[in-house]
Amino acid sequence: MLPATILAKKRDGHELTDAEIRFLVDGFCHDKVADYQMAALAMAICINGMLPGEISALTGAMVRSGDKLPRCSDRPRVDKHSTGGLGDKVSLILAPLLATCDVDVPMISGRGLGLTGGTLDKLESIEGFKTQLTIDESTKLLRKLGVFIIGANAKIAPADQRLYSLRDVTGTVESVALITASILSKKLAARLDALVMDVKVGSGGFMKTLDQARELAQSLIRVGAQSDLPITAILSDMDQPLGAAIGNAIEVNEAVDVLQGIGPPEVRELTLQLAANLLSASHEGMSRDDAITKVTNNLDSGIAMERFEQMVVAQGGRPNFPRPIGSELMIECSADGWIEKVDCELLGRAVVELGGGRRRKEDRIDPSVGLQVHCRVGQRVKRGTPIISLHCDKRLHDEYRGPLQNAVIVSDQSVKGVPLIIDQLR
């Protein structure tokens, strides 16, 4: 079996067998299939797509490329994955909240690249917080607290790490087949009993249209079912930031606010809905209404906040909140009317340019940089109403005042609000 022959087959639009896919993935991990050959495969997949059976075979081969997390308790094991969006700090709230509900949450998260922030970068704005743990260390933490949030381990689905670096430079990140295999290879290696997907839809997320979001969600659900992993998906709005805060330390502060009962209602609502999906899926006989009641009570009682602080300490961090953020510039609305649009791309680009995000993987992040958006689509505003707070080096305030004011479009006609949850798929 020759790599070139298999690549030519996929390039011509033919279906690959399980054995051919395993051969390529195994060879790639053992340096018998060159990077340029795997990059060619990724491009052929991006152009021609993959059938469901091919995606399952690719996912399985990527799982088998590394180790699986050991089971350390009889509690159900669950996780959530988001396709990424502006201001998405749900994982920081959801993971400790679920851990108070008799489930284990082994959350393996990523870093920010481009306009969307990464959970690991947010957590590392907490002094001392360690996002890299060995499998033994993370297992002990899961046994003790029922939760951890860490970065990918080189021993967990290493084929995914290697392939992703090629996808990033070959323009094949958008492939639904490759996204599905990437996400599920890590989740299956974590030996989950249930997974919920938060698929963002809109200008501030990766899936710009509802059709794209549905295609990805259905692919994940289908491949999950073939791998005995039940998956539900929530399609949520990303035509405006989730909550008010965009940045790293500032998003940690907002997550802590939600854990303390005072954060933005849309962040709280999405967190509760995602948590209820997982709890009802992992506890036989528990209705979704009962799950909503359970997670709401645990959030409002303060025990989720306690578990978050325990997790921070256990991962080397110091739970001193709020975290420090940059000097504030308040930007006001220039006219009366209704909020018609919030330009997510402009806001995300500003945070990246100011050092709060990455253009390249090696870029360093300034965790004190951030924005707060004080309005939402459909809201009535008046001239002089605060719409955005910029937090950064004071010397940069004047440079960004005008562009950020233009990020919020005001109409003189009434505008309807946008629903947070667009659809749910099972």
Distances (CA, A) of 77 to 73, 109, 164, 227, 321: 9, 16, 26, 15, 29
Alpha-carbon span 60 to 73, nearest angstrom: 25
pLDDT of 1? 67
- In degrees and rounded to multiples of 5, residue 419 shows phi and psi of -65, 140
Catalytic positions are: 81, 160, 167, 182, 186
Total Cβ atoms within 10 A of residue 143:
13
The ranges assigned to domains in the chain are 3-49, 78-154+166-314, 327-411
- At 186-216, the pLDDT tens digits run 999 999 999 999 999 998 888 889 999 999 9
Q: Which residue has tokens 């791998």?
A: 227
Alpha-carbon span 79 to 368, nearest angstrom: 29
pTM > 0.75 = yes
Q: For the domain made up of 78-154+166-314, give the CATH fold.
A: Pyrimidine Nucleoside Phosphorylase; Chain A, domain 2 (3.40.1030)
- Ordered DSSP codes for 186-223: HHHHTT-SEEEEEEEESTTBSB-SHHHHHHHHHHHHHH
Indicate whether 113 pLDDT > 70. no
Q: How far is CA 21 from the centre of its chain?
A: 27
Mean pLDDT along residues 227-245? 96
Alpha-carbon span 36 to 43, nearest angstrom: 10
Buried b (16+ CB within 10 A) or exposed e, 231-262: bbbbbbbbbbbbbbbbbbbbbbbbbbbbbeee
Percent of the chain topping pLDDT 90: 79
> For residue 306, what are the contacts with CB-CB under 8 A and spacing of at least 6?
none
Give the CATH H-level superfamily of domain 327-411: Pyrimidine nucleoside phosphorylase-like, C-terminal domain (3.90.1170.30)
Give the CATH H-level superfamily of domain 3-49: Transferase, Pyrimidine Nucleoside Phosphorylase; Chain C (1.20.970.10)
- At 31-45, the pLDDT tens digits run 999 999 999 999 999
Of 140, 162, 227, give the one whose Cα is nearest residue 192.
Answer: 227
Q: Which two tokens stand for residue 54?
A: 């091919």
Residue type, 141: L
pLDDT of 364? 85
Of 67, 74, 81, 194, give the one whose Cα is nearest residue 143.
Answer: 74
Mean pLDDT along residues 264-274? 98
Specify whether the backbone of 3 is left (phi greater than 0), alpha (psi in -120 to 50) or beta: alpha
332: three-class secondary structure by DSSP: strand
